[in-house]
Amino acid sequence: MSNKKRYNDYTSYIKNKFSERVQKVSLDTGFTCPNRDGTKGVGGCTYCNNNTFNPSYCKPSKSITQQLEEGIVFFSSKYKTQQYLAYFQAYTNTYADIRLVKELYLEAISHPLVIGLVIGTRPDCINEELVDFLSDLAKKNYIALEFGVESTLNRTLALVNRCHTYEETIAAYELCKNKGLHLGAHLIIGLPGESREDLLNHARELSKLPIETVKIHHLQIVKHTMMAIQLESNPEFFNLFSAEEYIDLITEFIALLRPDIIIERFISESPPHLLLAPQWSGLKNFEIVDRIDKMLIKKNLWQGKNYQLAEKVSCP
């Protein structure tokens, strides 16, 4: 690895890619999801409350340009960043009439300070026409497509009302690979019913996908979700990590992960007024990352150390 860490970190990747700090500006298109509008289900994912990560300027009542302008003003006061990535974050950002989707992407990429798009979506909400459109944009711009994998187990996906299968996830990546797109995956560690071995096996399965980046975070139960109701009525349904348990698991996860994958994050921090569990005594994201770094050294682990072993174990 080209950095001083024992894994490929996203900050180093971005600096090497663009030779400077680049900031994502979150956008909300106002789109919904097929497990919310009745197409596949209702209620959405049982853990989901988009208010946990949407900044104040990010509202679908505003145009894409207005959200970008307000986001740039917000970040330019904190950092000396000169370039930005338009981050289509909330809900499913390919789930609308394709003409509207293309229009919004083109509006974002036309901003003079925007050098690329980061698009978050579901693996069952992509098609060949849209992939070809994004591939064409990628000839002159940085285009990242992130799929919410969340789990590699179908039983878990059904339990949390994702309303898609892991086979659909694999198919989505197959459709998008070798098209000039930067493919990413999002994974939640600690969904109900998953054992330690299940969680570590996610690293083995993700390593088989044609991904460049991965975002990982622990399960957080927040207000105004189905999981909040489940926590109150049936707390034993969950096996929530302590910070120490999570750090220990993540170091083992890293060692099993394919060594070239960029790890974009290990942790997510929900607003305190929404977070129900787990409560980690006010630990900040950077503090958790620092502890992960130190635990990797203590255990003499690094990204990919056990990857070849994992490959041999998984072979028939």
CA distance 177 to 131: 10
Residue 77 is predicted with a pLDDT of 82
- Does a structural domain hold residue 242? yes
Q: Residue 111 pLDDT more than 70?
A: yes
Confidence bin at 194 (pLDDT 50/70/90): very high
pLDDT confidence tier of residue 20, bands split at 50, 70 and 90: confident
226 class by beta-carbon count within 10 Å (0-12 exposed, 13-18 middle, 19+ buried): middle
| Residue 297 included in any domain | yes
Name which of 214, 165, 160 is nearest 190 in CA terms: 160
What's the pLDDT at 51?
66
User: Is 3 inside any structural domain?
Assistant: no
Most confident of 43-52, 127-136, 270-279: 127-136
Instruction: Give the model's pLDDT for residue 155.
Output: 97
pLDDT reading at 37 higher than 50 = yes
In a domain, 4, yes or no: no
269 occurs within a structural domain: yes
Residue 107 placed within a domain: yes
Q: Please, is 266 exposed, middle or buried when counting C-beta atoms within 10 Å of its C-beta (0-12, 13-18, 19+)?
A: buried
Q: How confident is the model at residue 315 (pLDDT cuts 50, 70, 90)?
A: very low
In 3D space, the residue among 199, 193, 211 whose CA is nearest the CA of residue 252 turns out to be 199
3-state secondary structure of 278: coil
Which among 241, 239, 237 has a CA at the least distance from the CA of 229?
237
pLDDT reported for residue 30: 87
Q: Using CA atoms, how far apart are residues 20 and 16, in angstroms rounded to an integer? A: 8
Task: Please give the mean pLDDT across all residues of the chain.
Answer: 92
Q: Which two tokens stand for residue 38?
A: 């009745």
Q: What pLDDT shows up at residue 40?
A: 94
pTM: 0.92
Residue 310 is predicted with a pLDDT of: 57
pLDDT at 216: 96
What integer is the mean pLDDT of 280-291?
Answer: 90
Summarize the confidence of residues 162-167 as an average pLDDT. 96
- CA 53, 57, 60: angle at the middle one, nearest 5? 85
Of 116, 107, 25, 30, nearest to 71 by C-alpha is 25
- Residue 192: which of 45, 49, 36, 43 has the closest Cα? 45
222-275 pLDDT tens trace:
999 999 999 999 999 999 999 999 999 999 999 999 999 999 999 988 888 899
Check the CA dihedral 101-128-83-1 and report its sign.
Answer: positive
Which domain does 208 fall in, by range? Answer: 10-314
Collapsing DSSP to helix, strand or coil, 5 comes out as coil
Residue 1 within any structural domain of the chain: no
Instruction: Report helix, strand or coil for 144.
Output: strand
User: Which DSSP state fits 211?
Assistant: -
Once rounded to an integer, what is the mean pLDDT over residues 164-172?
97
Is residue 254 a contact partner of residue 306, using CB atoms and an 8 Å limit? no
DSSP codes of every residue in 290-311? HHHHHHHHHTT--TTTTHHHHH
**Tens of pLDDT along 143-160?**
999 999 999 999 999 999
**Does any domain span residue 5?**
no
Residue 16 reports pLDDT greater than 80: yes
- CA 214 vs CA 57, 144, 147, 283: distances in Å: 26, 12, 10, 22
Write down the pLDDT at residue 124.
95
CATH of the domain at 86: 3.80.30.30
- The domain total for the chain is 1
Do the Cβ atoms of 94 and 130 come closer than 8 Å? yes
